[in-house]
Every structure is written in C-alpha cells, then in structure tokens.
Amino acid sequence: MSDTFSTYHPSLNMLFFVGVLGVTMFVTHPIILGISLVSAISYATLLKGWRRTLRNNLIFTLPVMIIAAAFNPLFNHYGVTILGYLPNGNPFTLESCVYGLVMAFLLAAVITWFSCYTDVMTSDKFIYLFGRLIPALSLVLSMALRFVPHFARQAGVIADGQKCVGRSTSNGNIFARIKHGITIFSILVTWALENAIETADSMKCRGYGEKGRTAFAIFRFDRRDGYCLAGMVLTFSIVLFGASRGYVFSRYNPKILVEGWPLTPASFCVFGAFLIFCMLPVILELASRYMWKRRREMADGSLIRSYRLWELE
C-alpha cells in the first residue's frame, strides 16, 4: 500500500525531496537538522513500518554516524577551544567535535530521506518528470527498466540449462568455471540480440519513428495538488527567507556560533515553517488514516442502527 503523499503529483514529490534535502544540507543548523531527522524517521516509519526503519537505522545509518562523528575531530584541527592534544601533536578541538556530530546527524537525515525517496519516487514518476525535459530519454529509460528484469530472468534460465549439461559456474577448476560463465553470457547476448529484432518489429508495427511522438502519462495535476503545492511554497519561502536573513545562521569554525536559539520570534517562524514542510507527508497520511477511521466508525454505527430498525419492523 502506498501512502497518501505518494498519490500526489510526481512534481510535488520531487519538489518536496529537493527542498528538504537542500535545506538539510545547506543550513546546517542543529535544530533544522533535528527537525529534518525526526521527520525523516517518522515518514520512513509510516512508509516501511517501524521494524524495517529501526533495522535500517541500526545496521546502516548508525555506523555511518559513528564514523563521521569520530573521524572529524581526528583529522580536522580547526577551532579555538582546544580540549587536548592528539598523540601526533595536533590539537583536539571542541569545534571539530561538534561539527563531526552535526555532520553525523546530517548524514543520517539525508540517508533516511533517500530511503523514503526510493519508495515514493518510483521509476515511472521519475521517467515522467524527466521525460518532459528529454522525450527520447523517457522511452529509453522505460525500455531499460523493461529489459533488465527480462535479461536477468533469461540469464537464470540459461544458467539452469547449462547446469543440466554439467556446466555450471560452480563446478570444475577455476578456468572451467570462467569458461562456463562466458558461455552463459555468450548465449544470453546472442539470444538478446536475436530477440531484439522482434522488439524492433513490434515498435515499427506500432508506428515508432513517425513524426510528432507524444509522451503519455497517467499522472494528473488536480486541485488537491494545487493546494498542497501552495502550502509547500508558502512554508518553504518562509524558510528560505529566514535563512537568507540569517535568522537561523550557524557556524562551527573557528568558533561555534548558533543563531536563533534561544528562540526569537523570527527563528520560531522559520523552525515552525520547516517543521510543517518536513512533516507534510506525515500529516497528510495521518489525516487520511484518521478520516478512514472516522468513516468506518460511522459506517459501523449506521449499520447497527439500520439493523435495529429492521428488527423493529
């Protein structure tokens, strides 16, 4: 099942991820990062369930974070607050420690957002968006996506066939194995080229190569998408405006400088706007879940009522 935000127009999906990732990467403010990471994790949880999210985070994200946080102070020595000296004589500074931590959170947020991105931006949405820019590319991408699984399956069939004549890539000495592998590949290539002729025929039969080819897509830009876009543009411009005015400025070199904390009215607006922007998919999904729950309750209620009525008659 896909979430609500995925059903919005692909351009909104794309804009959302570009916006979120852009702000996260270029405004390295701790609170902005915090908001971004929390929203990313909540969205990932909605998309994949908490079990998978937790597993991904523990296995993949956490090690990356640790490495980033640990390596930065070991190799970077800027900053004015010296905490001590490393064995090789270089200073160990508070600034580089903090910056390492910031980087760790930044990486975590980006990784988590990308894991959501792959779920939301499916290949057909990607093709649709970029096919507008380069029409030929959209068909090429679509064909490539068709042929990769097709070839993979055929490679499996061929490998099975070869195994049954005693030539698998897992028997014989190393040379025999390589030879068997090459044979499988050679059969696959011959097969693919031979069959591509038929695909070309099929394309010609359906008028490929005629002038004025159009690109069809099943996506529609509805009024709903318009409202959502307006909300996104509004909150995002507040964030951009705030960032450009330096309300959420942050610097870690040579001295840590973090604006906007404690909260000022301006920074509060920026954080609030960014929170709404990041949480948009989560809000949409929860709203729709709530709506369905209400509907079900109402439906159940009316069922019971109608049952009673029927009983009375």
Give CA–CA dist 293/19, Å, rounded.
31
Does residue 1 bind another protein (CB under 8 A)? no
Q: Please pick, from the candidates 212, 309, 312, 313, the single residue that binds another protein as defined by CB under 8 A.
A: 212
Does residue 58 bind another protein (CB under 8 A)? no
**Residue recorded with tokens 């093709």:** 127
Contact assessment for residue 112 and residue 37, using Cβ atoms and an 8 Å cutoff = yes
Structure token digits, residue 128: 């649709």
Residues 162-191 that bind another protein (CB under 8 A): 162-166, 168, 171, 183, 186-187, 190-191
SS3 260: coil
For the window 135-164, what string marks contact with another protein as x by the rule CB under 8 A? Answer: ----x--xx-xx--xx--xx--xx-xxxxx
CA–CA–CA angle 104, 109, 110 (5° rounding):
100
Strand (E) positions, 224-298?
250-251, 257-258
Q: Please pick, from the candidates 78, 208, 227, 307, the single residue that binds another protein as defined by CB under 8 A.
A: 208
- Residue 282: is it exposed, middle or buried by C-beta count within 10 angstroms (0-12/13-18/19+)? buried
Q: Which is nearer to another protein, 165 or 309 (CB)?
A: 165
Chain length of the chain: 313
Residues 223-252 that bind another protein (CB under 8 A): none
Structure token digits, residue 200: 């070309």
Q: Please pick, from the candidates 88, 118, 214, 244, the single residue that binds another protein as defined by CB under 8 A.
A: 214
Structure token digits, residue 275: 């929170």
Contacting range for another protein; rule: CB under 8 A; set: 20-28, 49-57, 84-92, 192-200: 192-200
Q: Please pick, from the candidates 84, 194, 223, 310, the single residue that binds another protein as defined by CB under 8 A.
A: 194
Residues 265-284 that bind another protein (CB under 8 A): none
Q: Which is nearer to another protein, 26 or 216 (CB)?
A: 216
Give CA–CA dist 312/152, Å, rounded.
65
309 DSSP β-pair partners: none
In the complex, what is the shortest distance from the CB of residue 142 to another protein, in angstroms, rounded to a whole number? 4
Report the interface residues with another protein, using CB under 8 A: 123-124, 139, 142-143, 145-146, 149-150, 153-154, 157-158, 160-166, 168, 171, 183, 186-187, 190-191, 194-196, 198-199, 201-218
